[in-house]
Structure formats: C-alpha cells, structure tokens
Chains A and B, each alone.
Chain A
C-alpha cells in the first residue's frame, strides 16, 4: 500500500511503548498493532487526532505517501 504508517518511528522518538500509547489514546492494543503493522484499511480522524495529541506530532509524521514503482 502506498500509504506508510510511521507510528513505530514516532513511538521510538518519544520513547513510548505500545501499551502506554494504547492506554493514553484509548484504543485497544490489537487495533494499535494493526495500525502499526500497516494492515489497517482506514483511520478515523478522531483516532489520528488522539495519537497526534499523545505523541505531540503532526499527521504527516505518522502517515507518509510513497509512490508505487
């Protein structure tokens, strides 16, 4: 998929674990794992907003568009 999720990169930068992020964002570990591994089909604005608030970043820091070769 041309949309790459850089959630693990941002989590590493903020030195935050998946468990802590899931608790602070308010979504399950399973859903966060789906998002992190790039298996998610879509992301709600409210989820994106909550992640950006907790990680103190912009949506572009988490999502990246890469052209398919």
Chain B
C-alpha cells in the first residue's frame, strides 16, 4: 500500500544532470490508488490527522496571533498513535481532542528556508518527540562515462530545535502551558493597547481631520498635529515590525538554525505603510505651510 524509496533524475538549468536519492521512510504514508475512492479519502484524512498529531502543528486546541509578529498555539499531540484497521472497516474520524496538549510560541515572520530546484520542498516532521527537517542536499558530483558532470542529491532528516506551524507557515518554539498563559496576557494587553492607539490616534485622528476639513476648519493646530501623529505612527509601526522581526534570532538564537529564514511576506507589504506614512508627513508639511499662509493672510487688512 505504501510507496517505497524513490530516485528522481533530470537536468538542471545549467545543463548539469542530477539524481535525487531518497532512502528514507515517507513522512506521510502514500495511500494506494487501487482502493475505492471513499476509502482512499477516509484513509488519507486519517493519515493526515495522525501526522498533525505527531507534529503537534495543528491549531487544534486554539491559537492566537498578535500584531502579525507573535502568536501562541496549543495543539493536541500524540507520538504513539497509529491507525487501526479492522476487518472490512476503515478508520473513521480520528479522535484528537482527548490527547495531551503542547504549547508553542509562534514567530509569525519566520519560516523554513524553501528548497531550490531540483530539490523537493523541505518538510517538517516529528518522530518520537524529536523534530526533523527532511531536506535534500547535493553532497557529491562525478563525471559520467561521457564526461558530463552529474550531481548526487541525497535526502536527509536533520534534527532541529524548533517546531513548525503548517497553517500559518511559521516557526514555533515549544513553551510550557504557564508561559503560554502569561504570554497570552501580555500579548493580549499589548494588542488591545495597539488597537486603542490605532482606533483613537490613527483612524480616529483621520476621521476627526476629515470632519474638521468638511466644517471649514482646515489649517488648525489640531489638524496639523493629527497629520503628524498619523504619518509618524504609520512609519514607526512598519519600521518597528521589521526591527522586531530582525531581533528574533538574537533573542531566540537557540532555536534559529540555517534553515530558518525571514518570510518575505512579513516585510514585503511594509512599503504600503511607509508610503502612506510619508504621504501623511508631506500633508503635514503642506498643512503647516498652509497655516502660516493663512495666518499671514488673516493679518492682511
């Protein structure tokens, strides 16, 4: 029923031929296509659930993320669970909620370094409580009879100190339940304060600014201050996000290996906030000049 070891051969863009050798047991067992469709789907679901339980990477018991930087997650896990087959009966929905739980601290901006062609994608899995990355490494080259250079790519399981969340595609750090509770309080408080600041000073400030302008009170000290606060806040938020993400490897250096990279998504959208912030600062400058001109105009008799 399950697939055996695989070898794949081909050519890279630079004309070098390669052979990928995978002698390892598949992480997720392959379900034979010869069985009926309904049974195939059911078995595949059970296998996936089993893998989720082993990895402890599903937000089964709940997760929360804060300001797109951090998050906490609590997942059920089971390292010894297996799928039981009985005569003529296929496994039903896998029972997961009665399993013990593990808590994790999610680093939302960090992910596993993606593999480059021709290697298969890097896969995270847990076996007997130890987390591994299954990755392919070109470890030797040789010339064949025709003088062509051939690259041998072998598949390895590399032990890693971190865990991985497949849903959010981010690196997670195992923590204790009490640490998770404490982090939840702290992060929730910071998030609420952040939301209040955003609602009151950024969104609220902008709405008040629009209302004042519609009332004809355009070049006022309050409006100028609002534009300045909005502009600086938007820029600072983006810069702070980026800097906090960059500081993660320093704080959690024990969990960062060469396989963990900063997710492009965590900073690629920053330019929107920065551009908006700069636009507001330009508006602030324009309104400050406008106020000066208005004051002078008011003193022309």
Contacts and interface: CB of A to CB of B under 8 A. Distances in A.
Contacts of B296: 41-42
A58 interface: no
Interface string B72-97: 00000000000000000000000000
> Which range contains the number of B residues in contact with the other chain?
under 10
B296 to A, nearest CB: 5
A35 interface: yes
A29 to B, nearest CB: 12
Contacts of A32: 301
Interface residues of A, number: 12
B300 interface: yes
Contacts of B301: 27, 31-32, 34-35, 40, 42-44, 47
B299 A44 contact: no
B293 to A, nearest CB: 11
A31 B299 CA distance: 8
A31 B300 CA distance: 9
Nearest to A28: B301
A43 to B, nearest CB: 5
Given A41-B299, A43-B301, 20 more contacts: A27-B301, A31-B301, A32-B301, A34-B299, A34-B301, A35-B301, A39-B299, A40-B299, A40-B300, A40-B301, A41-B296, A41-B300, A42-B296, A42-B299, A42-B300, A42-B301, A43-B300, A44-B300, A44-B301, A47-B301
